[in-house]
Amino acid sequence: MPKNFIIYGYPGAGKTTQVDLLKKSGLQFTHIAVGVLLREIAGLDTPLGRKVKASMASGELVDEDFVLRLVKDALRTADASLPIIFDGYPRSMNQIRGMEEICREYSLEIPTLLCLKITKEEAVRRLTDRRVCSVCKENFSAAALSGAGKCVKCGGELIQREDDKPEAIETRFDLFDLQFGVIRHHYQSLDKYIEIDGMGKVEEVQEQIIRLI
């Protein structure tokens, strides 16, 4: 059974949703979600915060050296006895090398890449429908909310992520399509590549993941 995983897939494939569900089921692991870490930095009114925010809003990748440092910093404070789920890393050949460096430096087993497969149409539908609470960061479906503008958990204002707007979505998909082949090939050649059908209901996808890990 692999110890460490990368959760991978189109923007909107349900990566963070699935990892959050695994946490709720009581599984103990370290979750390194690069997008979440970057959004925290992007929320800071500092030169770095503004720079990260601008890259993210356009759908481009944030500076890769910076992201590598961010992942290493997150690992420094992690409980070494727990499995790790990397969410949103690696996303390029450069970052695959970064991951190798991380595994050497922290004596980690090379993670198995778990790819949640969904169609582009479904990804666009989900991203366009996504609303996020500006306070507690919980995700909601705009269609399911039927017009309610407040978070049902904390009452915070619901907003659309800048990178869920149409122009940024296009850039994010282009980047994904460009890198997917290389990333899949790399993990397949290590015999560490698993594909899961991500089109079903959240609970069905979760069942498939639990069966695997």
Does residue 61 belong to the site contacting ligand AMP (CB under 6 A)?
yes
Q: Which stretch binds ligand AMP (CB under 6 A): 61-69, 76-84, 107-115, 123-131?
A: 61-69
Tell me the residue nearest to ligand AMP as measured from the CB: 35
Does residue 91 belong to the site contacting ligand AMP (CB under 6 A)?
yes
Tell me the helix, strand and coil percentages in the chain, rounded to 5. 50, 15, 30
Minimum CB distance to ligand AMP, residue 26 (Å): 24
**Would you state the structure tokens that stand for residue 100, as one six-digit string?**
């190798």
Q: What are the phi and psi torsion angles at 128 (to 5°)? A: -65, -30
Does residue 86 belong to the site contacting ligand AMP (CB under 6 A)?
no
d(CA 113, CA 127): 23
d(CA 75, CA 79): 8
Does residue 14 belong to the site contacting ligand AMP (CB under 6 A)?
no
Q: Are strands 112-117 and 193-197 parallel, antiparallel or unpaired?
A: parallel
Please report, as residue ranges, which positions from 148 to 167 form the binding site for ligand AMP (by CB under 6 A).
Answer: 163
The contact mask relative to ligand AMP for 24-43 (x = CB under 6 A, - = no) is: ----------xx--x-----
Minimum CB distance to ligand AMP, residue 175 (Å): 8
Closest CA to 119 of 108, 109, 129, 127: 127
Minimum CB distance to ligand AMP, residue 22 (Å): 16
- Candidates 6, 7, 13, 67; binder of ligand AMP (CB under 6 A) is 67
Contact (CB, 8 A) for 132 and 145:
no
